[in-house]
Each structure stands twice: as C-alpha cells, then as structure tokens.
Structure 1
Amino acid sequence: MPKKTETLNLKREDFASIAQEVLGRGRALRFKAKGGSMSPFIRNGDVVEVVSVNGKINLGDIILYRSSYGNPVVHRVIRRSKESVITKGDSLPSSDQPVLSRQVLGRVVTIQKNGWRIRLGTPTGRLLNVLLATISPFSFLIYPSLRLLKKPISPFTSNASNPCLFRLPHS
C-alpha cells in the first residue's frame, strides 16, 4: 500500500520550526521549493528532500538553514571557514551572510523535477554540486544567457549511464 502524504501550507517561521523538529529526530523532510533564488537547479515547485547533516558541510552542498531573521533558506555552500559557511542562491548576484553551524537545519539530498529525481549524494551529484559552487560567482550572468537559447539546455536529459539521475515512474 503506498504511503499517504499530506500537504501543508505553512508560514515560513512555522515551516522552519517543523523542519528543525523533524530533522532533529533524524527523519527526512520533503517539501516543494518556493522562490527562484536557486534557479535553474531548483525551481519553484520542485520537490526537495532534506536530511540532517551528519559530518561536515562540503563545498557545493545545498543546505537548509535559518537566516538571521529566522526564515528558512535553501542555498548552495560556496565557501567554508572554521566557524561558518558562506552560501549563495545560484541565480543571485551576491552571497549571503555567514551561516553558523547552529543555523543549519539539514542538507538537500534529492531534488525531484519534471519527472526526474536528482540524487546529490552520488559521485556525479557531488561533482555537479562542486562545479556549480565554483561557477557561482558568475552564475547570475550565465543562467540568464541560457534562457535566451531557443532550445533549453538541461543537465537532466535522458542518460541511462548516469547514476545521479533516474526517471520517476508515472503514477
């Protein structure tokens, strides 16, 4: 029997509190992304799966954290230091304020979009994350240029040999 899922529409603060509670218990959290700061990698409406962070946060990881205002944010790690990480939305021109470890709620492990599931914990997924973190300072220039092309370029095209991607069955 398939698992029953429930959809809730929550205020940002309530979502952050629930995320902290769920992830703190070692459970995975799935939710629909809102906003465009991580576009085109994560788009508005994509389903994101987050787990608690066990171990260190790596360059390129996409993390869910509470901003200094208490709002939940999903952004990519572009730099690390001993005390904090620096994150940035892929489509934004500048980085965020430093994120302390106590603000981090979890790490994105899967993104579900357009019938595809992207697993970020695979070697291919980790390599893709590091590559995107490396080009991040220029992403706000690169991504709009790609939109001008008539035929969209997508790293999510069919490729049976890529263990990072797999097609979801139709329900």
Structure 2
Amino acid sequence: MKPKAGHEQIEMELLLPFLKEMLAEGREVKMTVTGNSMYPLLRDRQDSVLLAKEEQPKKYDIALFVRSNGEAVLHRIIKCGQDGFIMLGDNQYEKEGPILLSQVVAVAKGFYRGERFIPFNTWWCRLYTFVWSNAGILRKVLKPFVVWVGKLIKRAERME
C-alpha cells in the first residue's frame, strides 16, 4: 500500500533509534499501526497509536516491544511477572514471552481513528480490553460480533 501524500513509510529498524530518543526526551509519538495482530481494535494502516515512555507497564497496556530478533511488535500485556511480561495480540491465540522490561520501548496511551483520538482509559476501551483479554478461545466466536458492533457504532456516528 502506498503512503498518503505527505506521509513517508520508514522501516522500523531505521525508525527505532529516533523513536527511543524522542520517548527518552518525554515526547509522545504518533505511529501508524501495521499488521493485523491487534485487530479488531486497531486496524492495519488505518489507525495510529500515541506512544509514550512508561517506566512500569501494567497488565492490559498495549506495548511496543522489540523481540530478540530485532523485530518491533505492538501487543497487549496480559500478564506481569517477575520474569517479565506475557504478551498477546488481540487477533492472536499464542502467547509470547517472557518479554523483559528492557525490551519494552513504549506504551500506547490511545489511538487515532481518522482524526479522532480515543484514549485507552475510556469506559468502552476498558470494557473491551477486559472482555477480549479474558475471553480466550471464545474470541474466535466473539470476533464477528465485535466487528458487527463496531460497524453499527460507525454507522451511528455518521448519522449524527
């Protein structure tokens, strides 16, 4: 997919040092989501997340971390332990971890759907996170329903 006019696509391995530097300075960074691992909440190349440095990420945070092979990934923390974090994409069924705190680059504070910013501390984001993260294998059954509800909400917003 081609980037929109005025937008450049930059490979993550080139972007990561600059991202870490900006976060270390206390700045927040808006980054376009690529991939489907966080669907249905975050849509590939349609939504963006607002990333910030977080000294102590918590359960249910969506974190950007770097795998041991150097790949940067945005997944949800589903468990915090002494050995590190257990991560899982909202559209995945295999847990990953332990991920060390030193591998976590940033935590998403919210996301942009179009021009609208939606913080992750809204009631419906917290409800979605709790239900989706604890649904386990039921997510396969629930996903079509969640997508359908999302389309209804979108349709209702257009009517306003």
User: Which band: TM-score by shorter chain?
Assistant: 0.7 to 0.9
**Separation of aligned partners in 2, 1:120 and 1:156:** 20
Question: What's the offset of the Cα at 1:131?
Answer: 3.0
**Secondary structure class of the residue paired with 1:132:** helix
**Secondary structure class of the residue paired with 2:7:** coil
- Asked if the contact 2:76/2:89 (under 8 Å) is kept, the reply is yes
What is the 5 A alignment of 1:123-162? 124-143=124-143, 145-146=144-145, 152-154=148-150, 157=153
- Asked if the contact 1:59/1:133 (under 8 Å) is kept, the reply is no
Larger proportion of helix: 2
Corresponding residue number in structure 1 for 2:3 = none
TM score, norm. by length of structure 1: 0.75
Corresponding residue number in structure 1 for 2:53 = 52
Counterparts in 2 of 1:72 and 1:57: CA distance versus 1, 3 Å: same
**Secondary structure class of the residue paired with 2:85:** strand
Amino acid at match of 1:58: K
Corresponding residue number in structure 2 for 1:27 = 27
Corresponding residue number in structure 2 for 1:84 = 84
**Separation of aligned partners in 2, 1:156 and 1:25:** 40
Q: Which deviates further from its counterpart, 96-105 or 109-118?
A: 109-118
**Separation of aligned partners in 1, 2:80 and 2:137:** 15
What is the 5 A alignment of 1:112-123? 112-114=112-114, 116-122=116-122
**Separation of aligned partners in 1, 2:63 and 2:35:** 15
**Identity over aligned pairs, percent:** 21
Counterparts in 2 of 1:135 and 1:66: CA distance versus 1, 3 Å: same
TM score, norm. by length of structure 2: 0.79
Question: What's the offset of the Cα at 1:97?
Answer: 2.5
1:101 aligns with 2:101: yes
Question: What's the offset of the Cα at 1:122?
Answer: 4.1
**Separation of aligned partners in 2, 1:155 and 1:118:** 16
**Separation of aligned partners in 1, 2:60 and 2:79:** 8
- Asked if the contact 2:84/2:97 (under 8 Å) is kept, the reply is no
Question: What's the offset of the Cα at 1:115?
Answer: 5.1
Amino acid at match of 2:82: K
